[in-house]
């Protein structure tokens, strides 16, 4: 019997799935959020290294230029042609009667159009009397006098001097009077060098400069035309830690793993799988070369607090070397991922973050504000039909990403490197009653074929737990359902001592339990 063996009082089973439905992008999630599920961001069979030009949204087409009408000059208001002539203003003698002296219209002009009726109220005054302006009287032409010549000479001298000064001003900058050729400086800084600029160590940019060289893109080919892209990171010993679902299915027969380093030199090498654990979604691969790149420093995920800054690295949608930042949104979040390989998926006691995680980020490091790895990007929430959010499905980033705590991943990876095998599952030796609908997890009345629902000599038996007990707490954390309990158990190693809170006959008690395997 195992810690996640679940059965019914009527139909005992050895390995019954949790009473919460397995969540995926198309089913309800374990947290009671209809339409929200959890899924590995990427897995073999779904190519994520698409061409960049298929991933970018085309820019909007520029709007058609506005069409403007040709501005028409204002049309003068004319008086009726049959209005009797009036005394013109300005002292000129009255014009001759046009009926007696028909003069041709001046060349280049056209006759004015008929006068239009003025608007109510008139034009603000008496309308002008339109008439031809008489030519001034003829005068005999005379040459300019001496005084006039002297004045003109002075004016010419002054104009010439001003023109010369203006020419000097215009040609003083570059020797050209053309504004298009003048040198213009709009200000602003200039680059002081070429290459990566130094940034303070505690900033996102400073952390990215230190971490990115040790983050890799993992390209998997399964030999049948299928494959996928994920991420990973270097650890001590020249190994790379990633997700199990990134390399699942790689087992010869034309399958291959190609590791691409983020050194801007296209350094790449092949790799082999050292070992993997589907239950925790952790895998270790060995690259042909690390090109002298350093291993990342591992942190302590137990020291995290909600609100701490975190930074995610990886190759979302095949875009290597991507960096996103956010905070720790929640801790100890039970997440049961779906599996694309026919298994039960993994049950994670995950770190929840709003740092953008997308397909291709899987296996990449989640680091803290000091650049230490505190998690492995592993799962994202998906919106399915019935979510009430107006979408059929969405598998990209929606601000709900999940990472495996590094303390758990480190224990699994060390076991894989040491033995080449995944560690045995941690157990407490009970079968869960899947028919129970209340708060907590009830131990089934009996196991398969009428056997006991509690493993004799197991952790629960030694702690004095009995059939029908309802477990409601694990190390001070509330246990609401089977996913909570399984996630907590699997986040610990065999031999760890924990406190279980349970109810029996309406009375609550707490007991120390040493976890088994």
DSSP 214: G
Q: Annotated catalytic, 492?
A: no
Q: What is the largest CA-CA distance in the chain?
A: 141
**Total Cβ atoms within 10 A of residue 399:** 14
Q: Which of 8, 231, 245, 329 is catalytic?
A: 245
Q: Annotated catalytic, 245?
A: yes
375 bridge partner residues? 405
Q: 11 near 437, Cβ under 8 Å?
A: no
Contacts of 256 (CB under 8 A, 6+ apart): 220, 221, 223, 250, 270
Task: Give backbone dihedrals phi and psi of 455, rounded to 5 degrees, phi first.
Answer: -65, 125
Q: Which of 281, 377, 433, 469 is catalytic?
A: 281
Alpha-carbon span 69 to 65, nearest angstrom: 13
Alpha-carbon span 203 to 209, nearest angstrom: 10
Q: Annotated catalytic, 281?
A: yes
Question: How distant, in Å, are the alpha carbons of 166, 171, 172, 337, 387 from that of 160?
Answer: 10, 17, 18, 89, 84
Q: Which of 8, 231, 338, 362 is catalytic?
A: 362
Q: 290 near 259, Cβ under 8 Å?
A: no
The three-state DSSP-derived secondary structure of 104-149 is CCCCCCCCCCCCCCCCCCCCCCCCCCCCCCCCCCCCCCCCCCHHHH
Catalytic residues: 245, 281, 362
């Amino acid at each position: 019997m195992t810690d996640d063996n679940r059965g019914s009082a009527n139909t005992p089973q050895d390995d019954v799935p949790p009473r919460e439905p397995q969540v995926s992008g198309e089913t309800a999630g374990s947290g009671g959020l209809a339409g929200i599920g959890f899924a590995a961001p990427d897995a073999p069979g779904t190519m994520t290294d698409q061409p960049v030009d298929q991933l970018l949204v085309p820019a909007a087409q520029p709007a058609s230029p506005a069409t403007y009408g040709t501005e028409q000059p204002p049309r003068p208001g004319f008086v009726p042609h049959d209005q009797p002539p009036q005394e013109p203003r300005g002292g000129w003698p009255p014009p001759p009667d046009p009926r007696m002296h028909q003069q041709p219209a001046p060349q280049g002009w056209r006759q004015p159009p008929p006068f239009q009726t003025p608007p109510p109220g008139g034009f603000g005054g008496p309308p002008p009397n339109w008439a031809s302006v008489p030519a001034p009287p003829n005068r005999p032409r005379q040459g300019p006098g001496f005084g006039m010549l002297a004045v003109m000479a002075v004016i010419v001298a002054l104009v010439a001097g001003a023109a010369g000064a203006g020419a000097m001003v215009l040609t003083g900058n570059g020797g050209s009077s053309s504004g298009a050729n003048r040198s213009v400086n709009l200000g602003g800084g200039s680059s002081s060098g070429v290459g990566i600029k130094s940034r303070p160590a505690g900033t996102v940019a400073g952390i990215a400069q230190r971490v990115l060289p040790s983050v890799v893109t993992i390209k998997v080919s399964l030999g049948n035309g299928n494959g996928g892209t994920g991420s990973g990171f270097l650890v001590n010993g020249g190994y790379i830690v990633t997700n199990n679902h990134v390399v699942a299915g790689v087992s010869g027969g034309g399958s291959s793993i190609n590791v691409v380093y983020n050194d801007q030199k296209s350094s790449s090498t092949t790799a082999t799988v050292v070992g993997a654990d589907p239950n925790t979604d952790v895998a270790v691969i060995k690259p042909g070369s690390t090109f002298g790149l350093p291993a990342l420093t591992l942190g302590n995920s137990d020291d995290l607090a909600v609100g701490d800054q975190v930074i995610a690295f990886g190759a979302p949608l095949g875009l290597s070397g991507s960096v996103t930042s956010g905070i720790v949104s929640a801790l100890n979040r039970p997440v049961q991922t779906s599996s694309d390989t026919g298994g039960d998926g993994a049950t994670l006691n995950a770190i929840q973050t709003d740092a953008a995680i997308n397909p291709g980020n899987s296996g990449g490091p989640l680091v803290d504000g000091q650049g230490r790895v505190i998690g492995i990007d592993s799962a994202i929430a998906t919106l399915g039909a019935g979510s009430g959010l107006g979408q059929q499905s969405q598998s990209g980033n929606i601000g709900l990403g999940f990472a495996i705590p590094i303390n758990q991943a480190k224990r699994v990876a060390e076991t894989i490197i040491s033995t080449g095998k995944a560690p045995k599952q941690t157990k407490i030796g009970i079968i869960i009653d899947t028919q129970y609908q209340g708060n907590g997890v009830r131990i089934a009345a009996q196991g398969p074929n009428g056997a006991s629902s509690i493993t004799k000599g197991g952790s629960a038996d030694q702690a004095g737990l009995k059939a029908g007990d309802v477990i409601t707490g694990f190390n001070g954390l509330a246990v609401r359902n089977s996913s909570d309990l399984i996630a907590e158990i699997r986040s610990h190693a065999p031999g760890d001592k924990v406190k279980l809170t349970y109810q029996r006959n309406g009375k609550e008690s707490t007991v120390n339990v040493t976890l088994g395997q």
